[in-house]
Structures are given as structure tokens and as C-alpha cells.
Amino acid sequence: MTKYWIVFILIPFLTLSLTSCGDNAVSIVAQPGIEKEDTPRVIAHRGANEWYNESTITAYQIAAQSGVDSLEIDLRMTKDGELIAMHDETIDRTTNGKGKVSDYTLEEIKTFQTFKSDYGKTITEEIPTLKEIIETFHDSQRYYIETRLVNGKLAMEEKLIQLLEEYQLLDKNLVTIQSFSEESLLKIKEMAPHTELALLFRKGSFSLNEASGVEFPIIGIESTDVTQKVVKELHKQGKEVHVYFTNKKTQKEEQERVLEYEVDGYFTDYIHFTKEILAI
């Protein structure tokens, strides 16, 4: 196992640097279990991916130090049934390897390194399992976890719930589970009925009728599909609207636009910017 010794060098450096950047910087760690009234949730999209390799232990540690409300974790399942943090179906984009996650065992996955080029230097770190992330933070953070079908079938839900129960995260209400698959969420609800669930809609496919007809308390919408009418209607039904962004170039502008509609959560790639416009 790769030791995350770089964390102890990088995080203090980033904390010092970020706290020197004026009002945009926040160095305190968010305290899970304490709800902020009338304040939208700041959800670290794949960790602090603005500064470090997405979906890595270090990226999540930096996000935690920035005082976010939740750490967003995309799940993929290896060939031997282990849950890892990886957004894409393949490891091509974010690592030095190629191929589908589901074609590799965990041992094989661990031979690859995530990477990020920064000022001419390449930063590498191994792909973490969900268990390794949880063992890093335990109950000191909130988790916003995305499930997916595996080769078109339900596969990761039981493993996920067992792991969350093992660390008593569900009992402490520290987990939100989201998915584009209503089938997956219904399976989660069957196994852990009190877990907070969020149904995601893909860009361009949002349906207000469908969103209104489900029992899930949170609806996740791509920013360009968010309108004042949509937010007002879902709020009338007691649902929260959490917004994600697919275009980093327009994300800050879009965050400011949906701010006027009083959305309830931001999956942000720019943590300090989001906290600044929310005045938190």
C-alpha cells in the first residue's frame, strides 16, 4: 500500500497558503451532525479536485480542511467486488492505466497511480477504496456517495450498506446516497430505510413530473436544467434541490445564477468560491 506521506507535507502547506488568500479561504474543519439553517450545502465534488488528484485520499483531506459539508464520492466496483472511488467507467482519464474498472481486481487496480500535472510536476497517488476513505475520516465528516449499476445490474448496494453499518455512519446520519438509478436507490431504501437519498437526473433529461412523483427527499439536477420554476415547485413538495455542474468553464457563473433560485446544495469544484458567494 502506498503511504500517504505527501498528505502531511501538502495539507499544512495548503492550509497556510489558503488562509493567506483573504476572505475566500476557510481553514476550519466542518463539524458533521450540525445542520446549518438556511445555508445551502457545500459538497466537495470528487474532493478538492481544484488542487489535487480527484477522488484521492489527499483530495478529500484538503476538502475537509476547507470546511465543506460533505465529501462526494463516486463508486465503481472491481472485478472481485471491492468498492473504489472512481468517477469514470474506465481508469483511462485519471490514471496511468487503461481499461474498465470492472475488468480489474483490487490488487491490479492498486498497481496504477492517479496523476495531476501541476506547474510542470506530476503528482501521483494510488486509487483509494471506499473503506480506506472512511478509515481516514471515520465520523469526522459527512459522506455523499454515488452508486451505479454494474454492467447494467444491481451489485454494489449490499456491500456499501454493510460497510457503512460497520462504521456506524448510518446510525449517525452522516451519509447521503445519490444515484441516477432509481432501482439502486430503492434497493438502498429497502436495506437502510432511514438513509437520506437523492435521485440524479442527467443533463438535458430532467423531468419535473418524474422528480415530483418520487419519494426521495433530494433531487440532483445539472445546472443548465435548473430554473426558478423547477426549484419553487420542488420546494413546495418539501424536496431539496442539489445542483451539479458539467462545465468547469461556466461553473462559477452558473453557481451565481442558481444562487438566486435558493437551491439547497452545490457539488462544487471550486470550494472557496462557493463558500464566498454563500457568505459562509
Known catalytic residues are: 45, 87
* H helices present in 1-152, as ranges: 5-18, 57-65, 106-109, 130-137
| Residues in Cβ contact with 141 at an 8 Å cutoff, skipping those fewer than 6 apart | 30, 32, 60, 64, 70, 71, 174
Nearest to 15 by CA among 57, 55, 48, 53: 48
Neighbours of 202 (CB within 10 A): 12
74, three cell numbers: 463516486
Nearest to 190 by CA among 177, 206, 174, 201: 177
How many angstroms separate the Cα of 279 from the Cα of each of 21, 38, 157, 244, 273? 15, 12, 37, 20, 10
Phi–psi pair at 143, nearest 5 degrees: -120, 135
247, three cell numbers: 462545465
d(CA 60, CA 156): 22
| Residues in Cβ contact with 253 at an 8 Å cutoff, skipping those fewer than 6 apart | none
Phi–psi pair at 37, nearest 5 degrees: -65, 135
> Which H or E run includes 175?
strand 175-179
d(CA 264, CA 98): 37
